[in-house]
Structure 1
Amino acid sequence: MKKDKQKVIGEVLSDERIKELLTLQPPAGEDRALHILTRAYRALRAEDFERFLRFYSETGLDMNPGTPEGSSFLSVLESHQHGSPYVQALKNCGAN
């Protein structure tokens, strides 16, 4: 990082910023729902991910997308050491 740039940590995200993730388009051949959920999981804190899921559920996109390996997005997160708050948020929104 350049010396004149400051790292921003703990920025409060507006609903509009969170909703921007819903406009993401996947690379050719990749599932859009999986792409959006993966990017949101990687980019957002757990509490922001939970807010994001409220907007996501309104889009009609799949809450249970599968990975190319045949696992569900939820099961992938269940295997992550710090994934439990994200898993709970997904389950609260109907993922299984």
Structure 2
Amino acid sequence: MLHKDKQKVIGEELSDDRIKGMLDLRNENGEVDDFHLLTRAYRALRADDFARFIQFYCAAGHSVDAEDNQGTPFLSVLKTHEQAAPYREILINAGAKA
């Protein structure tokens, strides 16, 4: 919920530091950390910012083939989302197994 003195900002340009900061997000719900990071970035970022995030994510040694606790790869999860095509392409271009 937004406070009356706050305005929702849509399309805000994100700095590299802000995108890199997403690498510090940790989960408390028991997901695999890499899968959690990908999920959070996918949900929070526009495709172009997600592409930048993936560069930082890979450089930090994280896996684009991250799986959830049931062994389902993140890329497979995105295949069930209609609007996820640009995100799938970003992951495949970063080396995720299709």
TM range (shorter): over 0.9
Q: How does 1:39-78 map to 2 (within 5 A)?
A: 39-78=40-79
Residue identity in the other structure for 1:10: G
Gaps of 5+ in 2: none
Deviation at 1:28?
5.8
How big is each residue's C-alpha offset from its partner over 1:37-59, in whole Å with a ceiling of 9 and x where there is no partner? 10000000000000110000011
The runs of at least 4 aligned residues of structure 1 exceeding 6 Å deviation read: none
**Greater CA drift, 59-68 or 48-57:** 59-68
User: TM-score when scaled to structure 1?
Assistant: 0.92
Residue 32 of structure 1 corresponds to which residue in structure 2?
33
Equivalent pairs counted in the alignment come to 96
Residue 3 of structure 1 corresponds to which residue in structure 2?
4
Query: Counterparts of 1:6 and 1:29 in 2: how far apart (Å)?
Result: 33
Residue 22 of structure 1 corresponds to which residue in structure 2?
23
User: TM-score when scaled to structure 2?
Assistant: 0.91
Q: Over the residues paired in the alignment, what is the CA RMSD in angstroms?
A: 1.2
**Identical amino acids, percent of aligned pairs:** 52
1:81 aligns with 2:82: yes
Deviation at 1:91?
0.4
Gaps of 5+ in 1: none
